[in-house]
Amino acid sequence: MQNSLIARRASFARGHRRAPSLLSAGLLVSVGLSLSTLSSTGWAQVAASDAAATLPAVSVSASKDAPVAQADTVSAGALGTRKLVDTPFSTRTVTAEEGKDLFATTSNDLFKYDPAVSVTSENAIGENSMFTVRGMPIDTLNSIKVDGQTFPSWDTDLSLEPFEQVELLKGLSGFMYGFGSPGGIVNYVLKRPTDTPYRSVTVGYRSADVFSEAVDLGGRFGNDDRFGYRLNLVNEAGNTAEQNGHVRRQVASLAFDFRITPDLTWSADAFYQKRKTNGTLFGLMFGAGLGIPDASTVTHALTQPQNYYQTEMASFGTGLDYRLSENWHASVKYRFAKENRTNSDSLLYVTDSAGDYSNTLYAAMTRYFYQNVDAMVEGKFNTGSIQHDVVVGAGFQTQTSEYSNSVGWNQGYFLGNGNLYSSTLLTNDEVSIGSNLYRQQRTTQAAVYASDTVQFTSRLSTLVGLRYTQYREHVYNTTGAVSSQYSADPVTPTVALMFKTDQNSTLYASYVESLEQGGAASNTNLNYPDTFGPLKSKQYEIGFKTDHSKWGANLALFRVDQGYNYTNSANIFVQDGTKRYTGVDASGWIALTSEWRVLGGVMWLDTKALGVDDASVEGKRVYGAPRFTATGRIEYNPSYLRPLTLAFGGKYVGNQAVNAANTQFVPAYVTYDLSGRYETKIAGKDVTFRAGINNLFNRRYWTTAWGYYVAPSPTRTAVASATLQF
CATH code at position 183: 2.40.170.20
Give the CA-trace dihedral at 612, 618, 624, 627, to 10 degrees.
130
What mean pLDDT comes out for the span 5-26? 36
Q: Provide the pLDDT for residue 697.
A: 96
Residue 523 — very low, low, confident or very high, per pLDDT cuts 50/70/90?
Answer: low
Residue 139, pLDDT score: 84
364, 433 contact by CB (below 8 A): yes
Q: Kindly report the backbone phi and psi dihedral angles of residue 155, in degrees, each rounded to the nearest multiple of 5, phi listed first.
A: 55, 45
| pLDDT for the residue 585 | 98
Q: pLDDT band for position 524 (50/70/90)?
A: low
DSSP 8-state class, residue 29? H
Banded model confidence at residue 60, pLDDT cuts 50, 70, 90? very low
Nearest in space to 212 (alpha carbons), one of 191, 240, 176: 240
Phi-psi region of 416 (alpha: psi -120 to 50; beta: other; left: phi over 0): left
In tens, the pLDDT along 326-367 reads: 999 999 999 999 999 999 999 999 999 999 999 999 999 999
pLDDT, tens digit, for every residue of 191-205?
A: 999 999 999 999 999
DSSP strand E in 156-245: where? 163-170, 184-190, 198-206, 208-221, 227-240
Planar angle of CA 692, 694, 699, nearest 5 degrees: 145
Please give the Cα distance from 650 to 674 (Å, whole number): 9
Residue 361 domain boundaries: 2-725
- Position 73 scores a pLDDT of 75
Q: What residues contact 95, with CB distance under 8 A and at least 6 apart?
A: 69, 70, 71, 164, 165
Residues 6+ apart with CB under 8 A from 26: none
Q: Give the span between the Cα atoms of 128 and 101, in whole angstroms.
A: 22
**Three-class HEC string of 639-700:** CCCCCEEEEEEEEEECCEECCCCCCCEECCEEEEEEEEEEEEEECCEEEEEEEEEECCCCCC
Peptide bond into 667 cis (omega under 30): no
80-106 pLDDT per residue, tens: 777 888 888 899 999 999 999 999 999
Q: To the nearest whole percent, how much of the chain has pLDDT over 90?
A: 71
685: buried, middle or exposed (CB in 10 Å: 19+, 13-18, 0-12)?
exposed
Q: List the one residue out of 507, 332, 304, 330 whose CA is nearest residue 425.
A: 304
Q: What is the pLDDT of residues 614-627, one digit of tens each?
A: 899 999 999 999 99
Cβ-count burial of 542 within 10 angstroms (0-12 exposed, 13-18 middle, 19+ buried)? middle
Strand positions, DSSP E, 549-642: 551-567, 573-591, 596-610, 628-636
Q: How far is CA 295 from CA 499, 666, 712, in A?
A: 48, 9, 7
Reply yes or no on whether the pLDDT at 136 is more than 50.
yes
* Secondary structure (DSSP) of 344-373: EEEEEEE-STT-EEEEEEEEEEEEEEEEEE
Please say whether the beta carbons of 555 and 566 come within 8 A: no
Confidence of residue 71 (pLDDT cuts 50, 70, 90): low
- Domain count for the chain: 1
Residue 318 has a pLDDT of 98
Q: What is the arithmetic mean of pLDDT over 67-90?
A: 73
The answer to whether residue 74 scores a pLDDT higher than 90 is no
Distance CA 397, CA 354 (A): 50
For the segment 220-277, what is each residue's pLDDT rounded down to a tens digit? 999 999 999 999 999 999 999 888 889 999 999 999 999 999 999 999 999 999 999 9
Give the residues across from 63 on adjacent strands.
none
H or E segment and range at residue 4: helix 2-7
- In this structure, the number of other CB atoms found within 10 A of the CB of residue 11 comes to 15
Q: Is pLDDT at 313 greater than 50 in this prediction?
A: yes
Name the nearest CA neighbour of 537 among 567, 561, 566, 568: 561
Maximum Cα–Cα distance for the chain, whole Å?
78
Asked if pLDDT for residue 64 goes beyond 60, the answer is no
Confidence of residue 174 (pLDDT cuts 50, 70, 90): confident
Sort strands 144-146 and 184-190 into parallel, antiparallel or unpaired.
parallel
Q: Provide the pLDDT confidence category of residue 65 given band limits of 50, 70 and 90.
A: very low
CA Rg value for the chain? 25
CA dihedral 46, 48, 49, 51 (to 10 degrees): 130
Question: What single-letter DSSP state applies at residue 43?
Answer: H
What mean pLDDT is reported for the chain? Answer: 87
112 or 51: which leads in pLDDT: 112
Separation of CA 16 from chain center:
30
| Phi, psi (deg, nearest 5) at residue 262 | -60, -20
Exposed e or buried b for every residue in 124-139, given b needs 16+ CB within 10 A?
Answer: bbbbbbbbbbbbbbbb
Q: Does residue 373 register a pLDDT over 70?
A: yes
C-alpha pair distances (Å), 167 with each of 92, 189, 436: 6, 8, 37
Condensed to tens digits (0 to 9), the pLDDT of residues 405-450 reads 888 888 899 999 999 999 999 999 999 997 789 999 999 999 999 9
Half-sphere exposure (CA, 13 Å, Cβ side) for 172?
A: 26
CA distances to 448, 458, 467, 500, 691 from 451, in Å: 11, 19, 9, 20, 46
Please tell me the predicted confidence (pLDDT) of residue 76: 65
The Cα angle at residue 89 between residues 87 and 95, in degrees rounded to 5: 75
Cβ contacts of 678 within 8 Å, gap of 6 or more? 643, 644, 645, 688, 689, 690
Report pLDDT for 56: 37
